[in-house]
């Protein structure tokens, strides 16, 4: 089935004004921090990775009308169902009704500070030579991507310039689709905004971080 | 906002459908042994009370006071930030962007909500929402105006879309008139928005001569 992302919003119109909020306003309902925490705790079991989580959320047909943590909640339910960790009747009942699965890992309270402090680096030893260097002109892939990707539509087919080289990193497209890490060189590619938008102001440059398979020589 | 605001006697009549569903999920996952309920409390406490934009403000204030630190921060953001104790999840690969008279930097994630958690905490709602994500890359001047920011003539704008696992922190310009302030006083001028690039630092309080 074609993967459709509802989250690729760069340059789209009609979303209304930006509403700022104070620095100390972290959550807007009591259930929101619980969803954040359950999502992080289940992510730590090792059954799926962050790219699979993003793919689950961003392909929700209801994405555009859900709030942020509603998206997280629905994305988590989708992953739990896909891994046969939760049945509908259990969520209805509010209790476990079926046997539990054995999971690779469990995040214990005592380990939370270490797990958060360690994070999860996505940099890997490079096995190939970088194809591009700083200053190289590149053209971004122009077509449809039939699976999760981090190549935004607004740069597809556009010409940019390599500005930074970040080393080899876990390739989100492969990682999200169960094909392993497949590390590729990651670059910051910058564009003159006038090459992206007909109505751009002069003096504006926009960059994305792009893995090598997203682009070719310009 | 209080998170624990329910009296047990009336609990169920007061809970929203989402509260009930989330509680049900937590209960089921706990009963199955998939999650440690105490771990959830530690996670929430971390992002509610420990990790937030005051961390980033300390990084910025240090860079304003110490040229050697600033040079390190711009060269190797992850290591320089970790030296102040801020590191880990969603901050594994930090790049710091220095604002100058000539160049203003602004950070967005058009695809989701990527944000440097160790230095800024969880992203504000607007950062995660469609209006900012859609327009930051197309009309940054318009977005800045909505935040009340007008840049001087001749300042160019650079927008960084965080589409991979590199996380960006803006190093704003040190405000004029702040020469005599201590590092702590400087940190108090550094706003969350000034480290995303949608705002500027506060001006120093007027001082008696």
- Residues B100-109 have pLDDT tens digits of 999 999 999 9
Judged by a CB distance cut-off of 8 A, whether residue B88 touches chain A is yes
Contact present, A58 and A150 (Cβ < 8 Å):
no
What is the model's pLDDT at position A18? Answer: 97
* pLDDT at B206 (0 to 100): 75
Tell whether A93 and A151 lie within a shared domain.
Answer: no
pLDDT band for position B3 (cuts 50, 70, 90): very low
Distance CA A45, CA A195 (A): 44
Residue A182 lies in domain: 123-217
Q: Which of A20, A31, A40 lies closest to B147 in CB terms?
A: A20
Cα-flanking dihedrals φ and ψ of residue A167, to 5°?
Answer: 90, 180
Q: Which residues contact A10 (CB under 8 A, 6 or more apart)?
A: A152, A153, A154, B110, B111, B133, B134, B137, B138, B161
Among A78, A94, A118, the domain-final residue is: A118
Closest Cα in chain B to A92: B24
Kindly state whether A182 is in contact with chain B, defined as any CB-CB distance less than 8 angstroms. no
Q: Do B112 and A54 touch (CB under 8 A)?
A: yes
Cβ within 8 Å, pair A37-B40: yes
Query: Which of A75, A103, A118 is where one domain is finished?
Result: A118
CB contact under 8 A, A57 and B112: yes
- With contacts defined as CB-CB under 8 Å, which chain B residues touch A168? none
The answer to whether residue A12 is domain-embedded is no
Query: Do A7 and B112 make contact, defined as CB atoms within 8 angstroms?
Result: yes
Q: pTM, whole model, 2 decimals?
A: 0.95
Which residues from A are below 8 Å from B122, CB to CB? 26, 36
CB B128 within 8 A of CB A15: no
Interface size between A and B, measured as CB pairs under 8 A: 281
Check B41 against A109: CB less than 8 A apart: yes
In a domain? residue A18: no
- Please tell me whether the interface predicted TM-score (ipTM) of this complex is above 0.85: yes
pLDDT in tens, A139-159: 999 999 999 999 999 999 999
pLDDT value of residue A1 = 56
Burial B155-175 (b: 16+ CB within 10 A, else e): eebbbbbbbbbbbbbbbbebb
User: Can you tell me the mean pLDDT for A80-90?
Assistant: 96
Average pLDDT over residues B56-70: 98
Domain count, chain A: 2
Per-residue pLDDT, B2 = 41
Asked if A38's CB is within 8 angstroms of B22's CB, the reply is yes
Output the pLDDT for position B208.
41
For residue B146, the model assigns a pLDDT of 97
**In sequence order, which ranges of B98-182 are alpha helices (DSSP H)?**
117-120, 125-128, 130-135, 140-146
Domain identity same for A172 and A108: no
Chain A 130-149, CB below 8 Å of chain B: which residues? none
Confidence bin at B207 (pLDDT 50/70/90)? low
Q: Is A200 in the B-facing interface, judged by CB distances under 8 Å?
A: yes
Please state, in angstroms and rounded to a whole number, the distance separating the CA atoms of residues A37 and A11.
32
Put simply, whether B132 touches A (Cβ < 8 Å) is yes
| Segment B139-165, tens digit of pLDDT | 999 999 999 999 999 999 999 999 999
Nearest neighbour of A94 by CB, restricted to B27, B122, B131: B27
Residue recorded with tokens 């359950």: A38
**Residue A159: inside a domain:** yes
Which CATH number covers residue A53?
Answer: 1.10.472
What distance in Å separates residue A13's CA from the closest CA in chain B? 7
Determine, for residues A205 and B129 on separate chains, whether the beta-carbon distance falls below 8 Å. Answer: no
Give the distance from residue A91's alpha carbon to the nearest chain B alpha carbon, in angstroms: 6
The verdict on B188 touching A (C-beta cutoff 8 Å) is no
Candidates A3, A80, A78; CA nearest to A41 is: A80
Per-residue pLDDT reduced to its tens digit, A87-123: 999 999 999 999 999 999 999 999 999 999 999 999 9
Active site residues of B: 109, 112-114
Per CB-CB distance under 8 Å, the chain A contacts of B3 are: 27, 30, 33
Q: Mean per-residue pLDDT for B189-207?
A: 93
If asked whether residues A143 and A88 sit together in one domain, one would say: no
CATH number of the domain bearing residue A208:
2.30.30.50
Percentage of chain B beyond pLDDT 70 is: 92
Best CATH choice for the domain B52-196 from the list 3.30.70.790, 2.130.10.10, 3.90.330.10, 3.40.109.10: 3.90.330.10
H/E element holding A74? helix A68-82
Residues 71-90 of A with CB under 8 A from B: 73, 76-77, 85-86, 90
Question: How far is C-alpha B1 from the geometric centre of its chain's CA atoms?
Answer: 19
Convert the pLDDT of each residue in B6-33 to its tens digit. 444 445 567 899 999 999 999 999 999 9
In whole angstroms, what separates CA A183 from the centre of its chain?
A: 16
CA pair distance A154, A4, nearest whole angstrom? 16
CA dist., res. B166 & res. B158, Å (int): 16
Do A206 and B192 lie within an 8 Å CB cutoff? Answer: no
Domain residue limits, chain B = 8-49, 52-196
B209 pLDDT above the threshold of 80: no
Question: Cβ separation of B158 and A107 shorter than 8 Å?
Answer: no
Residues A94 and A144 in one domain: no
What mean pLDDT value characterizes chain B? 93
pLDDT of residue B14: 79
For B89, which of A95, A116, A206 is closest by C-beta distance?
A116
pLDDT at residue B1, as a whole number: 39
């Amino acid at each position: 089935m074609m993967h459709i992302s509802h989250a690729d919003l760069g340059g789209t119109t009609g979303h209304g004004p930006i509403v700022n909020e104070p620095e100390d306003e972290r959550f807007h309902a009591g259930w929101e921090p619980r969803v954040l925490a359950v999502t992080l705790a289940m992510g730590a079991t090792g059954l799926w990775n962050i790219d699979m989580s993003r793919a689950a959320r961003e392909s929700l047909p209801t994405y555009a009308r859900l709030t942020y943590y509603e998206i997280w909640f629905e994305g988590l339910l989708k992953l739990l169902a896909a891994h046969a960790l939760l049945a509908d009747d259990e969520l209805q009942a509010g209790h476990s009704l079926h046997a539990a699965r054995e999971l690779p890992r469990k995040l214990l309270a005592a380990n939370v500070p270490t797990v958060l402090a360690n994070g999860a680096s996505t940099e890997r030893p490079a096995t190939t030579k970088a194809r591009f260097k700083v200053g190289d002109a590149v053209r971004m892939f122009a077509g449809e991507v039939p699976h999760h990707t981090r190549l935004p539509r607004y740069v597809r087919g556009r010409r940019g310039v390599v500005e930074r080289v970040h080393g080899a990193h876990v390739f989100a497209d492969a990682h999200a689709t169960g094909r392993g890490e497949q590390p590729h060189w990651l670059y910051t590619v910058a564009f003159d905004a006038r090459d992206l938008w007909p109505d751009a102001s002069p003096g504006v440059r926009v960059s994305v971080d792009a893995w090598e398979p997203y682009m070719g020589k310009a | 906002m209080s998170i624990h605001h329910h009296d047990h006697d009336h609990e169920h009549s007061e809970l929203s459908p989402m509260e009930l569903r989330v509680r049900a999920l937590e209960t089921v996952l706990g009963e199955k042994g998939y999650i440690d309920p105490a771990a959830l409390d530690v996670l929430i406490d971390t992002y509610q009370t420990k990790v937030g934009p005051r961390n980033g403000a300390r990084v910025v204030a240090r860079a304003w006071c110490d040229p050697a630190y600033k040079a390190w921060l711009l060269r190797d953001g992850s290591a320089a930030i970790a030296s102040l104790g801020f590191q880990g999840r969603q901050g594994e690969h930090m790049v710091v962007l220095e604002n100058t008279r000539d160049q203003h930097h602004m950070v967005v994630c058009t695809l989701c909500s990527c944000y440097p958690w160790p230095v800024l905490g969880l992203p504000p709602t607007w950062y995660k929402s469609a209006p900012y994500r859609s327009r930051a890359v197309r009309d940054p001047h318009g977005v800045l105006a909505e935040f009340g920011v007008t840049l001087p003539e001749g300042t160019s704008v650079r927008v960084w879309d965080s589409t991979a696992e590199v996380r960006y922190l803006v190093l704003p310009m040190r405000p004029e008139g702040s020469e005599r302030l201590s590092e702590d006083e400087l940190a108090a001028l550094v706003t969350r928005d000034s480290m995303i690039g949608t705002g500027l630092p506060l001006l120093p309080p007027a001082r008696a001569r």
